[in-house]
Amino acid sequence: MPRQRIWITATVLLAAIWGAVALVMHQTDDHVSWPGKVQTLVEEAPWLAGEKWSDEKRRGYLAKVITNYQRLDASQRKTLREDAHDSLDKFFASLTEAEQKEYVDRTIEPLFEVIDKGLKVMPLEERKRIVTRMRGDVKGMRGNNAEGDRLAEQDRKFMEDIMAEDPMLFLREASVKQKLELAPVLEDMQGRVQGLRR
């Protein structure tokens, strides 16, 4: 009988502990994000299934996607891009121009501030090395698609002059779509700038 009581007590305690864990997970779900959660949100956007949503409800849903995306660290964002590239593209294409701008303003634009501040406090030689690498990354991205090839043919000299004078100006003046395409380069550069500042 005492042995049975020990097992019953242990079972009750384990159930209570797991119940508490489940409660904490449920309570914090809105404050924690991971790549799969963001992927699910973009794939299950109601308007992708043909549902008609008001502008206000769409803005609320978009804000939820953006907030969860912002909670991801650099490696999680990279994982998300690799695992859900098509889903992210489809979601972004489904947004109105104003929604696309909101998405980029809240997910990509903050990277500019971090990079710009980091470059300003960095030693000149280190800054030159990082900016040169960024130029190479940007050129490489532009050369990997037909639109980039046309751009490279038409505006290569102009783009290189802007990049040489002020890479941040080039990035700030890029279109919404270009900024979105440059996100991997910017996140990589942000990581390098922050790593050197520590």
Closest CA to 128 of 158, 164, 159, 160: 164
Angstrom distance (rounded) from CA 137 to CA 183 = 11
* Token code pair at residue 153: 């043919």
What pLDDT was estimated at residue 45?
Answer: 95
Predicted structure pTM score: 0.70
Angstrom distance (rounded) from CA 103 to CA 62 = 8
Angstrom distance (rounded) from CA 4 to CA 9 = 9
- Of 83-92, 146-155, 156-165, where does the model show the most confidence? 83-92
The conformation of residue 96, written as its DSSP 8-state character, comes to -
CA distances from 103 to 64, 98, 135 (A): 11, 9, 24
Q: Write the pLDDT tens digit of every residue in 177-186.
A: 888 888 888 8
Listed by start position, the domains of the chain span 1-31, 33-107, 110-197
Comparing 101 with 154, which gets the higher pLDDT?
101
Comparing 139 with 128, which gets the higher pLDDT?
128
CA distances from 185 to 5, 88, 159, 177 (A): 61, 17, 16, 14
Q: Write the pLDDT tens digit of every residue in 3-42.
A: 788 888 888 888 888 877 777 666 655 657 899 999 999 9
Q: Which amino acid is at 66?
A: I
| Segment 86-107 mean pLDDT | 94
CA distances from 30 to 64, 67, 70, 99, 104 (A): 9, 10, 13, 22, 22
What pLDDT was estimated at residue 43?
Answer: 96
Answer yes or no: is pLDDT of 198 > 50: no
Q: Which of 66-80, 81-95, 103-117, 168-182 has the lowest mean pLDDT?
A: 168-182
Q: Which of 150-159, 162-171, 175-184 has the lowest mean pLDDT?
A: 150-159
